[in-house]
Structures are given as C-alpha cells and as structure tokens.
Structure 1
Amino acid sequence: MRVRAFVMTVVLAATVVTVAAAVSARVTFEDIRSCLVLVGLGIGAAEMARQVERRRRRFADTPHVNFSSVWTFAASLVLPGALTVAVVVALYLHLWLRSWRGIPGVHLHRTLFSACNVILSCQMAAWCARGVSVVPLEHDLGVMSLLGAAAVIGVFFTVNSALVGTVIGLSLGTSSRRRLTGPANENLLELATVCMGLVTAVLLTLAPWLVAFLVFPLYALHRSALVRQFEHAATRDSKTGLLNIASWRALADSELRRAEKTNGALSILLIDVDHFALVNVVHGEDVGDRVLKATGAALSSVVRNTDLCGRLGGDEFVVMLPGNNADEVLAIAHRIRDSIATVEVAPASGHSPRITVSIGAAAYTTAGTDLDDLLRAADNALFAAKDRGRNRVVVS
C-alpha cells in the first residue's frame, strides 16, 4: 500500500510539473528542431542496442541503467520543460514497446514510474542549471560554469537515485545500501551517461552535427556493460554474490603460484554454517537462502578486497588470504566468526535462527604447497572445530 501511494505521488508530481511547464512554455522553431534531434538520436541509439538492452534488462536485479539519460539530461539543459517531457515520454515509450515489453518482471507501471522519475529529475536539474547560471550554454563556459555543471549533474543523479531507492526500500522492506542504490559500478555507469548528456547539450548548442558521433561510443558502452554483466553472472554464486567454486579455484591457483614465486605468505579458511540443515527444516528453505546470503555479506564486510571469498556449495564458504601470517589469519578468522554471529535473519514466523560458523584454517607452506592439500588440511581443521562443539576456529 505504501509503495502504491509513493508511486502515485511521484506520478502526480510529474503530471503537475508537466502541466506547469506546458502552460508557461515559450517554444521556438530551434527548440522543436533540437527536440526532434534528441528524440531521433535517442530512438536510433536504442534501436542499435535493442538486443543488448533486452539481455541487460533480463540480468538486472538492482536499479537498471538504460542510457537514456544521455538524451533526457541534455534535453533538460537546452529545451523548455514541456519539450523535455516530450523527449522523456517518447524515449521511454519506445523502450517499453521495443525493448522491455515481454521481459519477465518488467511491467508497464514500472516503466511509467521510471519515466515520471526522470521527468522530475530533469526538472530539478533544469531549475538548478538556471540557478547557477549554467544555462543558456551559449555564454562563455569558465571555471564557475564547470562547478555549476557538476552541481547540476549531482542534482539529477541524487533525485533519480533517491526516488528509485525509496520505492525499492518500500517494496522490499530493506535498508541495505546496496539493494537501495545498486552496486557502485552501476552508479558510475549512470554518472557516465549523465556526463555524456552534458556533452550532448553543449554540442547540440554549439555544433549540432557533431552530436551524431556520440551514438557509436554509447553503443560500445552499452555492449561493454552487457559483457560485464555476463562476466558477473558466470563468475558469481547466484545466492550470495561471492565467487563460485570454478572462479575461486582459478583465482586461488593464480595466487598460489604468485606465493611460490615470491615466497610469500598465504592461508585458506573453510567456513561452515552450524546446524544449517536444521534451519532449513525448522524455518524453511527461503530462510535458509537468506541465511546464506547474510553470511556471505558478513564475510565480505570483514575481509579485504584483495582476499578471495567464494561459496564451495551448500553451507560451506572458502576464503584465501594472501600475504597474512599465522597470527593475522587467526585474528581475521575470529572477526569473521564474530561478525556472522551478529547477523539476524527474520523468519516468516517464530524466532530468528541463531547463526554461528565453524572455521578451519590452513597456511601455506605449513599445511601443504598444493591447493588441494591446503583445502584438505583446512577441511580437517573444520571437522575438528565441529567436533569440539562448533562456533570456533581451529588451525591445521
């Protein structure tokens, strides 16, 4: 109910903004020409990348970047408000009819919300641009204009992200930053498209014929984003977002070879969720999946970006820690255990299951020099941790 009320509020606000812009509009022939150019290039770019966009949309489980901001943000800087709305409506209608319709989970009301979100973001950006004297773009662009343009980009990005994050938070009942805002690379991609929108607006004002050359780098950017999504899907475990076993082994072998050449330190942790089968029986597999996801998130929050975190399968996780000595590895293992012990997963009914883990550690070269030897030694230490009562760390 709250989601529906919020969406209707956004739609109503976009409608009011559209009506106000239409009433106060002073449209010239140059404005109409620029509007048609932006719509034409936007639709042309979308047609070029149609199959790419459909594949990317199928993979999207976080806020999705569709690259239309290149044209809609440019419109907010060079067109009257009414024509900016026309650009947004035309591009999102085309995206729905040609790229998104028929994709599971992509519904018309979501596209309507997205379009209204962009209308409001464009209007706020236009107001900011006038306030800091970024527009009209014909005047000399100095250092202050650069700072003003950065502020306008920030306003567009912030409003857009805030509205999307709010509707996600209300619909999923989550406060997770990553779920609300999406991964950092998606946010960088959105910022890149908005910056391209600024360039588009400048070119459209000073040298309109050069705008057509933006279509091809935009298509290349679209394809590279799809490749990145494919790579992520191929290398990551779907439930936890950690490395899958095949990717983990490939990277672990590489780290092990580096340790052999440099005589460096390296250790492996095997982590098993205690009584996980009982969680599935008592609370159901859905809660079990959430336990795995929460465990993976807690694990990632403790280790470094250079450490290799993966899910071996079932309720077992593995971490390779390059460059750590025995004392450091033991301290990290205890931090992981303590971090996971604080995780709470709310079941549909009853009490939240208490999550604890047992950890087995093995160091190169003390426990072995081969990856399988290290894994075997860590596995033996893990069994010892379970035999001693679980929720503890044992070093091989």
Structure 2
Amino acid sequence: MNTSSSPEGAGEQERPPELPKLARDTTPENPWPLSTLSHALHGWVQKAPDAWVEGQVIEVNQRARVSYVTLRDLQEEVSVNVTLFQREMARLERPLERGSRVVVNLKADFYVKTGRLSMLGRDIRPVGLGDLLERLERLRRALAEEGLFDPAHKKRLPVLPHRVGLVTGRNSDAEKDVVRNATNRWPGVEFEIREVPVQGTGSAKAVIQALQELDGMDAVDVIVIARGGGAFEDLLSFSDESLLRVVFAARTPVVSAIGHENDQPLLDYVADVRASTPTDAGKRIVPDVQDERLRLLQARAALDRAVSTLIDREQQGLATMRSRPSLSQPDGMILIREEDLDRWRSRAWSAANAQTLRARDAVGQMRARVRALSPQQTLDRGYAVVQTADGSVLTDAADAAPGQSLSVRLARGELGVDVTSSSTRQPGEH
C-alpha cells in the first residue's frame, strides 16, 4: 500500500521540521535561518558587560551627530573602532586629537540587519598629565616595596667591556652620542646595536625584545638603553612595568640614558646605573684611555720606587749583617765555645775527682768497720773459737761431754783438745 497517496501521509510530509534550540544542534539538513543566528548573536552581545579601556587615538572622523574614533592599544598592535554620539563628545573640554590618550567606557553592540559588530562609547575621558603622574607614582611605590630599586640588587659595570649592547632609536642622536663618546674614550670598544621604536605604541615591547636578545649574548658585557629628550608622554614607554621587570631580571648590567638631566622615567630607578644623558652614558661605560695610560705610568713609577726601596733596604740589611761579629769574626764564636768546653771539662773533672775521693773514703771507712767486726780481729785480741768434730761452734760448756775431742781455733793455727771437765761458771765469777 502506498502511504504517500493518502491524506495523512501528505500532511506529515508538508509539516516543517522543528528548529534546533541550540547552535550546536544545527545540521546541514536542519539549519537555522540567518535571522535566528543574528538575533542570537545580538542577545549574546547584549549580555556582555561594558568595560573601561585605555588607548591612544589614531584617527577621528567627526560627522553631524556621530563621531567615529579609532583606538589603538598602548603596547600591542590592536585597534578598535568606537562610535561616539554627540552627547559624549560634547562633554569633552577640548576636541579629540590624534595621539592623545583617553579612557573610554565601551559597550559591544551587534547590528542584526547587517551583522556588524561595533563598539559604542558611552563615556570618554582624556588622560591628563596629572593622571599619568599619579599612575606612575603608584607604580613607583609598588615596585619600591617589592625591592626593584634596592641598591643591593644593582650590578657593577665591568671595568673594561669588550662589547657594549645599545638599544636606541633608528639613526638617532642618542646612538651617535653614545658611540662617539665611548669610542673617543676607548677606541677598541665594540657595539652591538639594536634600533627600535623608542616612543609610541609598541615601543616598550620592542625595547624588551631587543634587551632580552642582547642579554642572551655572552659577548655583551653591558647594555645601554638610550633615548634623546622629549615630552613627558614621549618617555612613558620607559616607565612601562613589563620593561622594568625585564631590566631587573637581566643578568647583564643595564645603563639607563633616557632624555636629559631632569627626565627621570622609572627605568632610571631599576637600572644598575643611571646616566643623565646618552653622552654621559658613553663616558660611564668605558674608561678613558688617556687616564688609563697615565695610571699605568704612575703605577710603573710607583713599582720602580718600591723595587728600588726594597733593594736599598735589603742592601742595608746585608751590610748590617756583615758587620756583625758572627760574620766579621766567625772564629770568635768557636773560641767562646772552646772556652766554655774547657770550663765545663774542668768542672766535670773536679766533680768526678771529688766524687771519687768521697767514695774512696767511704770504702776505707766501710773496710775498717768490716775489719773491726771480723772474727779474725776477735781472734787477734786473744779470743778462740771452739768447734766440735762436725764443725759446729761450741758456745755452752754444758754441750761438751767429758772426753769429747774439740778443735780450738786461735788467731794463728788450731789446737786439738779433749774435754776433761766442764763448768757453768760465768766469766768474772770465782
């Protein structure tokens, strides 16, 4: 059965498909109408909040009731067209000019009929000198609190740099002043020059790139950032926070030579050395060859004087040493030692002789005492020693038996006797 011929089938084919609610649900078979997308984009853009932005005016096109202004970012190559109505322009005290800095409250708007995205300026305010000074002062205090201006972080310049990195404007007087003065002072100095924009949009970024490139070169010993004088607004690039932090992080010493003596961008506080002018920078980075030659001559003269003084002093010392008795009469020391040796020998002989005599006397006395206590001495005085047959000394008469043979030892010779009687009478008894 063919359903396409039935009324119900015809009604189902004629019903249009339901449109997707979300953009991601659209397909080639079921797309959105263009108006749906435009209205959706308009709704999304309307939900975006307004924002205050800062930029530089590069083009102004004023008409009867509407003014079209082109703003450019202060650092990046980004620009946007802004539509300002007469009531916003009427609030300005002075007409907008190219190059002026402004702060604008922008609200994005999407025009459904043409699909054009535009920026509506609801309020615009010029950035005056007072506002810029106040911003710089706040930034200066913040960086000072972080320690970016601390002298302890300053790097010393090399005594004699072989190659100097120079970041400056293209074919500028600042470049000529630095190169000419440095070359006049030290003809052998070499330069690695990077010519970049030094004012306006993107100048800070260009200086940063050149600085990082030179800082990465081992042959570069010092980097000079130089620019001639100008208006306060022209030097604002050298107070950019990103540039200041790159200078602080550089491993190569950086010299700031911006403007004149009275110009003091924040780069002067962060740089390792601040030169009042580019000419002053050329004099600071290298020594004066004439002064160095003079110092060499002075050092050589001082060295000659020191050597001559040393030689004279040593000669006087040698003469003094030669005049000493130890060198003028070297045998005098030997004679003194010989006398000392004789004296010590005599003392030793006397001491040994006296000791020997004392010892001999002691031996004689001891010999006399021994002789006095000797049994022979006792025998010589008329005493005798009575011994039994076994050699024992008989000391008690009771120990001798009658008829016992005894031996009597006299001072000279012995007697053999027989005991006939014994008595216990003591000497002196009757």
TM over 0.5: no
**Structure with the higher helix share, 1 or 2:** 1
Q: Which has the higher contact order (CA 8 A, sep 6+)?
A: 1
Mark the structure with the bigger radius of gyration: 2
